[in-house]
Amino acid sequence: MNDLIITNIQELILPKSTDRPLKGQELDDLTIVENGTVVVKDGKIVYAGAHSDDFEAQEIIDASGKVVSPALVDAHTHLIFGGSREHEMSLKRQGKSYLEILEMGGGILSTVKATRETSEEDLFNKAEHDLLTMIKHGVLAVESKSGYGLDKDNELKQLKVSNRLADKYNLDMKHTFLGPHAVPEEADSNEAFLNDMIELLPEVKQYADFADIFCETGVFTIEESRRYMQKAKEAGFKVKIHADEIDPLGGLELAIDEGAISADHLVASSDKGKEKLRHSDTVAVLLPATTFYLDKNDYADARGMLENNGAIALATDYNPGSSVTNNLQLVMAIAALKLKLSPNEVWNAVTVNAAKAIDVDAGTINKGDKANIVIWDAPNHEYIPYHFGINHAEKVIKDGKVIVDNTLTLD
C-alpha cells in the first residue's frame, strides 16, 4: 500500500532529472502533464505522470484545478544575520549614496555590528522565523551563507546556527563560508584580513560546504579572489563567487576558470564572460530581486547567457541590505518581467538548476526522487509568476508528508 496519491492534478510540472545543469535552450524544455497523478511511498516518488487509477494509498489528495511541482530551491541566501536596516530606506529616498550611508554607520558594517552583538540563540530564533517563511512559500532546499561576522568567532557562530536549522528541520540545506564578504573596520588591510579568512578555512570546513568571496570594486580584486578560491579548493571546498555585481571585473571568467559551482549576481558581466559559459557547467545564479530593491535599471543579461548556452538559476539573495525578501515566488515574477524568461525557464531555474548550483538532490519529482512537493492554488504554471507578490503555495509536502497547509476558511 502506498502512502499518498495526489490525483486530478490540473498541471503537473516535471523538470528533467539530469547529471548537469540545463543549459541554453534546454532551460525552456519542461514537461507539463495535464490531469496528472503523483504516487508516494516511504517518502519517495513511485509514479509521476498522466492520470492513473492503478494505485492505492492510505491518503488521497484531490488537486483538481491545482498545479503540482517539486518544492522550490533557493540557491543564494544570507539567512543568518542580526538586526535590520529599514531606517536606511528613508536615507536612500533622500538621495544618500551607499558610501554616505556607510559613513553614517549604516550599510553592511551595521549588520556586522548587530550580528556580533546577537547571541547564537537569538540568531537561531530570528533565522528560524525567516526559514519557516521560506518553507511556507514552497522552498525545501536552501543555501545559507555566513559573512556578517568577519572574524573567527562570529563567522563560526553563523555557520553553527545554519547547521542547527538544517538538523532541526531535516532540510536539504547547504552552508557557505563567506568570510571575505567585506573588510571589517578593525582590519589592518585587505590583504591581512583575507589572510585571516584563508587561515580559517580548515576550521570552518566542518560547518560549511562551500567557500565564497565578494569580488567587487572596493572589496576584493580578481587576484585576491583567485588566491582565496584556490586555497579554499586545497582545503576541500567547492567554491562560489559574488561576481560582477557592479563593475565588470571579470568575476564570471574567474569563476569558470576556477571551476566554481556557481557565480552569482553577474549584473555587469562582460560579453567575454558570457561567451565562456558555453564551455562550462558553472551555474550563473541571478538575483533580480536585488536589482529591483536597489532600484537599478540594468538587470543581469539572462537572455545573453542562455544564447551562449549558459546555465542559469534564480535565487532571492535574502539579506538585510539589498534584497529584503524571502519569497522566491516574487523572484519568479521579477525574472519573468525583467529578465525576459519564459515560464518554463523560470520553473527550471528555481528547481533543477538551482539544485545544481548548490549540489543538492532536489528540484525534481520523477520516479525515485524525494517526495518534496508543492501543491499550488493556481490554474496553470504560468499563473504563479503572473499573479505576483502573494503566496500561491497551498500545501507543502516533505518526504511525502504535508508539513504546511495554507488553506484558509472563514466562517
- State CA 34 to chain mean position distance: 29
Q: Kindly tell me the sign of the dihedral angle through the C-alpha atoms of 179, 183, 184, 187.
A: positive
- Burial 340-355, CB ≥16 within 10 A → b, else e: ebebbbbbbbbbbbbb
322 annotated as ligand-binding: yes
Question: In angstroms, what CA-CA distances link 203 with 178, 199, 346, 358?
Answer: 14, 8, 37, 21
CA distance 345 to 276: 21
Burial environment of residue 1 by CB neighbours within 10 A (0 to 12, 13 to 18, 19 or more):
exposed
78 annotated as ligand-binding: yes
143 annotated as ligand-binding: no
Q: Where are the beta strands (DSSP E) in 84-190?
A: 139-145, 172-177
Cell numbers given for 2: 502506498
The residue written with cell numbers 519573468 in the block is: 336
Q: Kindly tell me the sign of the dihedral angle through the C-alpha atoms of 356, 358, 360, 365.
A: negative
265 annotated as ligand-binding: no
Name the residue type at position 367.
K
Q: Kindly tell me the sign of the dihedral angle through the C-alpha atoms of 154, 255, 354, 367.
A: negative
Question: In angstroms, what CA-CA distances link 408 with 10, 59, 264, 330, 385?
Answer: 21, 21, 37, 21, 22
148 annotated as ligand-binding: yes
242 annotated as ligand-binding: yes
76 annotated as ligand-binding: yes
List, as residue ranges, the binding site for 4-imidazolone-5-propanoate.
85, 148, 181, 245, 322
List, as residue ranges, the binding site for Fe(3+).
76, 78, 242, 317
List, as residue ranges, the binding site for Zn(2+).
76, 78, 242, 317
List, as residue ranges, the binding site.
76, 78, 85, 148, 181, 242, 245, 317, 319, 321-322
List, as residue ranges, the binding site for N-formimidoyl-L-glutamate.
148, 319, 321
